Chain A
Amino acid sequence: MIHIVYMSRAVRPLSDQDLQSLLDQCRRDNAARNVTGVLFYSHGNIAQLIEGEKEVLEPLFEVISRDGRHSNVVKLVDKPISTRSFKDWSMAFHPIEPSGFEALQGFLLPHHLPPPPSSLSIADAMLVDLVKLAVFGADATPSEPTLAHA
């Protein structure tokens, strides 16, 4: 099993409808292929973590990176993992009209995102925190200085 993390830019801003149809399609296709992970979207910034079998994930990443809806796809990590850290596939973004989304399966408001699961190594958890920060900005990402060095 491997996981891949990448960041990209939407070619043009994605509407609520674009995002919802992406959510529907990905939930369906990823469940069928046993792909789990999470996608962050805000103001054209995209980051995604996907995990699954190497034979599934590598071609999927090829397809995703050629998808005309985004460009500047930069792969940050691609490496073997021993366990999954996400139980299914979900998406976090700020819909313009949030009321319809709240009840949607696999949808999360960015500030409801749980901290990176502890099954990730600290380096990978930090990577997820950093891409979250890059996509949503500092306001949506709690980041308190810690007493680790006190």
Chain B
Amino acid sequence: MREQQLQDILRHMPAGVATLQGEALRFGFVNEAMQAVLGAPVQEGQAVADHPGTIPADLLDVMQQVFRSGRPYVAKSYGIPLPATDDQNPTPRYFDIALEPVREGDGPVSGLLLFAMDVTAQEEARQKAHHLAIETRRLDTRLRVLTETVPQITFTVDADGRYEYVSPQWYYYTGQPPTADLNAIWPLLIHPDDRLRVLYQSDSARAAGIGWSYEYRLRRHDGQYRWLLSRALPELHGPDQAVFWHGALTEVHDQRELAEALRRGEAELRFLADSIPELIWTATAEGFIDYYNEYTAEYSGLTKAELGPTGWINLLDPSEQAGAARRWVHSIATGEPYEGLFRMRRHDGRYRWHIIRARQLADERGPRWFGACTDVDDQHRLREVLQTQYDELARTNRDLDTFVYTASHDLKQPLLNLRGLFDELRRTATFDDPEEGEIVGMLDQALSQLDATLQELAETVEDQRGLSATPETLELRSVADEVLLGLRTQVQESGAVIDLDFAAAPTLTYGRANLRSILHNLFSNALKFADPTRPPHIQVRSGIANTGQPFLAVQDNGLGMKLPSHRAPVFQPFARQHPHIAGAGVGMYLVQRIVASRGGHLEVSSTVGAGTTFTVHWFGA
């Protein structure tokens, strides 16, 4: 019964148990676990060598040697491939196999006891650990290579701020010997101006368990302090429990110097722009002003915000705003430089003339605009004064010429009369004194001289002013444009509208200077005698009269004048209808004389308060 019990226990043991008998090692007792290990069913008395199962040749060989030598043997983690099943490939399983020789008393070995303990799980764990160790070593190597080849210095600090590790680059960079005491030396290498800040910043980051990123100067091997960026992140063991900080130091010296230079350059330029007593500004590629210098605020009395991206337009004289805006949009669209002369309102409401100029700068940062408004008010006013003075002088000069010219003409008739009277006197009177005859001769000579002088005077003026030039075929339009160009200041100032209509008779055969003189006088009179309550509107029209001869009519909407019963006095030199207006009279007298010299005549009609029309009939009918 005890035997039976023992057999039961052995049969159900989780380890494989079998007995092998005799030289041939025939299976005796085989428990269930051993059956599973061997795979194929085992017949009692079957030799191990004949079993078709899983026992490999080397194990069989060892079994036979143990039988012969009588020395027990244990094979650790011996792999036996489990036979493949339908859906599984053969998988190796691992066993500790014990081979125990069996003797009858002191006799020779009669058999073997075979134990097989499944250690597959342990073996797999061991193998995994082995692979892990290899992989870890590989990663370690890689990390070391990396940390030692990157240009940065890498480091590890513990929670107390003690350096656990620093890559060899640190020694290389600082020139310190490998034996240097990191924790003592490092703080000493930090620039004195940065030291306290750095120590404090890293200390507070470690206390808070967070990473850091700051820049400081570290002494390089050559003694130069260079800017470095220090960045580190904590390694957490458990939530909020930082144990180590791993980080890197990157040299940012050159970038920092460059950025600093740029900042300094920009600040200097801005200072320069702010120091110049001119309105200076910059605009984006889209044309929006993004910077006004300080003087702009000073001049306009408006802040940058009040001016806004397009507010400079509001500073211009209202009549100039639309044109200035159109020009700016055009410049932005085309990239063409901007230039214009504008009146800009000062903080006190006074407008001053400015030249506004802007140019586009296109570089790798994209297009931007740089502009300046230069105050040219004084120059502009001076020019205006000079222009007025010049016009005045030119007119006086012309008047003087006209005076000389008319005087020489007008003196001709009395001289002629004098000559007639004198001849009559000489014919009828007799002189007793022979000396008196001489005087008569001298008088005659003087009269001839006077005549010649008057003639010369008239010719000089005619020559000087080109009035005696031979007639040519002239485009009325081009001569009129030329004359209006000379009068542009008056036209602009008065805001005059001038309609030129030469369609009916576009050309005229006349002396150029004469035509210019006539048009000049007619136009400037029309502008001069404008009604201050309305802008002048001058209509100029050429045509052919009923007589077949050309005429020119100049109609204005000016003050008008009272016409005397006969027209001559209107054109008397220096006879002025409007004494408050300078330089009238002489011009019209000249016009009349020129026209008369070609057989033509001047016609005038006028209504006080409504306007005047002059009609030049160029030639006699």
Contact = CB atoms under 8 A, between A and B. Distances in A.
B286 A7 contact: yes
B327 A146 contact: yes
A147 B327 CA distance: 9
The secondary structure that dominates the B interface is helix
Interface in A109-150: 121-127, 129-131, 133-134, 138, 141, 143-149
A148 B322 contact: yes
Interface stretch (B102-110, B304-312, B422-430, B544-552): B304-312
Interface string B328-349: 1110111000001100000000
Contact of B323 (A125, A127, A133, A146): A146
B82 interface: no
A76 interface: yes
B329 A77 contact: no
A144 B333 CA distance: 10
A149 B316 CA distance: 13
A126 B313 CA distance: 9
A15 to B, nearest CB: 25
B333 A141 contact: yes
B326 A123 contact: no
Contacts of B327: 145-146, 148-149
Contact of B326 (A124, A133, A148): A148
A125 B328 CA distance: 12
B314 A133 contact: no
B288 A76 contact: yes
Given A145-B327, A146-B327, A149-B323, A123 B310 contact: yes
A77 B334 contact: no
Nearest to A145: B330
A126 B310 contact: yes
Contacts of A122: 313-314, 321-322, 325
A133 B333 contact: yes
A129 B323 contact: no
Binding site secondary structure of chain A: mixed
Given A77-B309, A149-B340, A123 B323 contact: no
A138 B335 CA distance: 10
Contacts of B285: 134
Interface in A73-129: 76-77, 79, 121-127, 129
Which bracket fits the contact residues of B? 20 to 34
Given A126-B329, A148-B323, A134 B310 contact: no
Interface string B256-287: 00000000000000000000000000000111
A146 B310 CA distance: 19
Contacts of A77: 308-309
Contacts of B328: 126
B329 A134 contact: no
Given A125-B325, A141-B333, A133 B287 contact: yes
A76 B309 contact: yes
A127 B329 CA distance: 9
Which of A124, A130, A133 has the most chain B CB atoms inside 10 A of its CB?
A: A130
Interface in A40-97: 76-77, 79
A148 B313 contact: no
A136 B403 CA distance: 66
Contacts of A124: 310
A131 B442 CA distance: 91
A121 B334 contact: no
B162 to A, nearest CB: 46
A92 B311 CA distance: 26
B324 interface: yes
A134 B249 CA distance: 44
Contacts of A129: 325, 329
Contacts of A121: 314
Nearest to B316: A122
B330 A126 contact: no
A133 B335 CA distance: 12
B320 interface: yes
B323 A134 contact: no
Contacts of A76: 288, 308-309
Contact of B286 (A131, A143, A145, A147): A131
B358 to A, nearest CB: 14
A130 B310 contact: yes
A123 B314 contact: yes
A127 B333 contact: no
B617 to A, nearest CB: 35
B325 A149 contact: no
Nearest to A116: B325
A138 to B, nearest CB: 4
B334 A123 contact: no
Contacts of B322: 122, 148
Contact of B332 (A79, A130, A148): A130
Given A143-B333, A145-B327, A123 B313 contact: yes
Interface in B469-493: none
A123 B325 contact: yes
Given A77-B308, A123-B314, A130 B286 contact: yes
A146 B338 CA distance: 13
Contacts of A145: 326-327, 330
A72 to B, nearest CB: 13
A147 B322 CA distance: 11
Contacts of A126: 310, 313, 325, 328-329
A105 B456 CA distance: 85
Given A76-B309, A144-B330, A130 B288 contact: yes
A121 to B, nearest CB: 7
Contacts of B324: 148
10 contacts: A76-B309, A77-B308, A122-B321, A122-B325, A124-B310, A126-B310, A126-B328, A133-B286, A143-B330, A143-B334
Given A123-B313, A130-B310, A134-B287, 14 more contacts: A76-B308, A79-B308, A122-B314, A123-B312, A129-B329, A133-B329, A133-B332, A138-B334, A145-B326, A145-B327, A146-B327, A146-B330, A148-B324, A149-B323
In the complex, the 10 A-B pairs of residues with the closest C-beta atoms, listed nearest first: A148-B323, A126-B325, A138-B333, A134-B286, A123-B313, A122-B321, A130-B287, A127-B310, A143-B333, A123-B310
